[in-house]
Amino acid sequence: MASTRLPRAHASAPTGPPSAGPEAAPYSTVELVGRFQRMLQAQERSPCTVKQYGHIARTFLTFAQKPLDEVTLRDLESYREYLVLQRHYSKNSVYTTVRGLTCLFRSFGLAVADQLEPPRRPERLPRYLSEEEMHRLLEAVRDSPRDSAIAHVLAFAGLRVSEVCHLELEDIEFERNILHVRSGKGDKDREVILEDRSRAALDRYLAGRPTDGARDRRLFPVGPVTVERVVRRAAAAAQIPRRVTPHMLRHTLATTLLSRGCDIRYIQKLLGHASVATTQIYTHVDTNALRTAYQRAKPEY
């Protein structure tokens, strides 16, 4: 089994990122990956990222069969070639792998992976639902207060799954009809509008929620898998033939707002995008808005 070397000085203090040195004790792949994942957890990375990066680290170390501090750039490039030529990884998968390996080496004070270039990811247009499909989906969960509240928050506030799972009761500001999203992607807080139907769905859900003071303070004490299952079941009940994910509801909100004339800067703020360049992908999706804008501004030659 592959091993890595960690400095003896850090062996009893696993909370800080160690730096490799000549005096090192061997650690098994299992021990190294476990330590790496604990570092990611300490950085408050999402459970999905912790699991994914742990798998990337484990798979690479099994391939390399050498201590982490002896890995060269050529080793990393050979692994990338192996993934593309023999494992037939997509550009997106190779990109994620390079990001994970860069994080792994940096976590242990090694810079060799900084020189490993990730591929340019293809720009794919987001998939979304029509307004009529979204209406059917929301109707499909009307009889379940919890599922209805979750679906309405996804559909009208545009939250990510992780943000829905981390919402707390105190994050609802009923007086202003505002949801406070704490530490969203990039550790950025933001406020989103609590639309009237979402407010009504939340009121109904909270009216039947246990009031035991020892209960979970999260608004929805569920995990990402449960949220995904709620949306998948609702889509099936609504007879939507394609696979529907929670993120599609976020895309649907952005696309619908844009088609109805909402300024893209407000959509950026609502979704919590760091740059408007990320939000601009929706301008390529809505051809009706593009056609309207073109007709309004086209030259008269």
Q: What is the pLDDT of residues 1-30, one digit of tens each?
A: 444 555 432 333 333 333 343 333 356 888
Whether 59 and 198 map to the same domain: the answer is: no
Whether 22 and 50 map to the same domain: the answer is: yes
Could you tell me the pLDDT band of residue 49, with boundaries at 50, 70 and 90? confident
Whether 26 and 68 map to the same domain: the answer is: yes
Q: In this predicted structure, which of 167-176, 187-196, 236-245 has the lowest mean pLDDT?
A: 187-196
> In which domain, by residue range, is 187 found?
131-296
User: Looking at the domain assignment, is residue 107 inside a domain?
Assistant: yes
Whether 156 and 287 map to the same domain: the answer is: yes
User: Looking at the domain assignment, is residue 124 inside a domain?
Assistant: no
* CATH number reported for the structural domain that contains residue 34 in this entry: 1.10.150.130
Q: What is the mean pLDDT of residues 43-59?
A: 87
Annotated active-site residue 250? The verdict is: yes
Whether 242 and 143 map to the same domain: the answer is: yes
* Predicted local distance difference test score (pLDDT) of residue 92: 86
Provide the domain count of the chain: 2
Better-scored residue on pLDDT, 74 or 46 = 74
User: Looking at the domain assignment, is residue 122 inside a domain?
Assistant: no
* Domain-terminating residue out of 67, 88, 115: 115
User: Looking at the domain assignment, is residue 78 inside a domain?
Assistant: yes
Instruction: Please identify which of the residues 38, 190, 229, 247 carries the catalytic annotation.
Output: 247
Annotated active-site residue 273? The verdict is: yes
Could you tell me the pLDDT band of residue 290, with boundaries at 50, 70 and 90? low
* Predicted local distance difference test score (pLDDT) of residue 263: 80
* Domain-terminating residue out of 115, 142, 160: 115
Whether 164 and 77 map to the same domain: the answer is: no
User: Looking at the domain assignment, is residue 81 inside a domain?
Assistant: yes
Whether 180 and 254 map to the same domain: the answer is: yes
Annotated active-site residue 266? The verdict is: no
* pLDDT tens by residue, 158-174: 898 989 998 998 999 98
pLDDT at 196 exceeding the cut of 80: yes
Instruction: Please identify which of the residues 35, 58, 152, 160 carries the catalytic annotation.
Output: 160
Whether 161 and 187 map to the same domain: the answer is: yes
Average pLDDT score over the chain: 82
Three-class SS of 78-136: HHHHHHHHCCCCCHHHHHHHHHHHHHHHHHCCCCHHHHCCCCCCCCCCCCCCCHHHHHH
Whether 280 and 135 map to the same domain: the answer is: yes
Annotated active-site residue 89? The verdict is: no
Dmax (CA) of the chain? 76
Annotated active-site residue 166? The verdict is: no
Q: What is the mean pLDDT of residues 222-241?
A: 93
Phi and psi dihedrals of 131, rounded to 5?
-65, -35
Q: What is the mean pLDDT of residues 115-126?
A: 78
Instruction: Please identify which of the residues 53, 79, 205, 282 carries the catalytic annotation.
Output: 282
* CATH number reported for the structural domain that contains residue 259 in this entry: 1.10.443.10
Q: In this predicted structure, which of 57-71, 179-193, 199-213, 217-231 has the lowest mean pLDDT?
A: 179-193
Stated pTM of the model: 0.63
Whether 177 and 277 map to the same domain: the answer is: yes
User: Looking at the domain assignment, is residue 126 inside a domain?
Assistant: no
Instruction: Please identify which of the residues 182, 185, 190, 229 carries the catalytic annotation.
Output: 185
User: Looking at the domain assignment, is residue 104 inside a domain?
Assistant: yes
* Predicted local distance difference test score (pLDDT) of residue 195: 87
| Angle, alpha carbons 121-124-130 (nearest 5°) | 160
Whether 136 and 272 map to the same domain: the answer is: yes
User: Looking at the domain assignment, is residue 247 inside a domain?
Assistant: yes
Annotated active-site residue 5? The verdict is: no
* Domain-terminating residue out of 115, 145, 164: 115
Whether 192 and 241 map to the same domain: the answer is: yes
